[in-house]
Structure 1
């Protein structure tokens, strides 16, 4: 099932933003303090990043589900984005019809 797994938020200072957002949202700072985790289920994670742009990470549970979700999103008007992917990338970058980037990630990879 395609779902919002994380919102990646571009911030100037991940430590200061992490302190603020963890308290504001009542999220916990995990082993990686740039990943804020909901204390209760149902909410997506918040990733703080000083180099990446703000975007949604949509999660799938398998490679087949990821492929099907990408095909469906493209049929709805999304486009594939040329990207410099690392080896063994678990994500695909797409853009919505207005050009806003987002990722579809196979979290089982």
Structure 2
């Protein structure tokens, strides 16, 4: 029997701010919240979700795991996400990259890809 991806756990200094940011990014909602964790997802029956757990230290090195987003319009989505609090970052992707690297408000890198329908073009 294979495993199913249940949730991605994200260390955060400000659980509420991180949960709000990613809810706006993904059009998800808060499914559970207490002082030790905030779980967000599309709904209570759809997997996976994100679980934000508290840490006291800030992020200091590049992520070993990151999220890739595939919007209908990459450039418009990048601008929307920057408006929500993301920032552009350079991790060595080069000028000819077909994706844009952003960081969430706590510095976690994620990529915005070109639309899925053109990934194989």
TM-score, structure 2 normalization: 0.44
Normalized per residue, the structure richer in strand is: 1
| Higher RCO structure (Cα 8 Å, ≥6 apart) | 1
TM-score, structure 1 normalization: 0.48
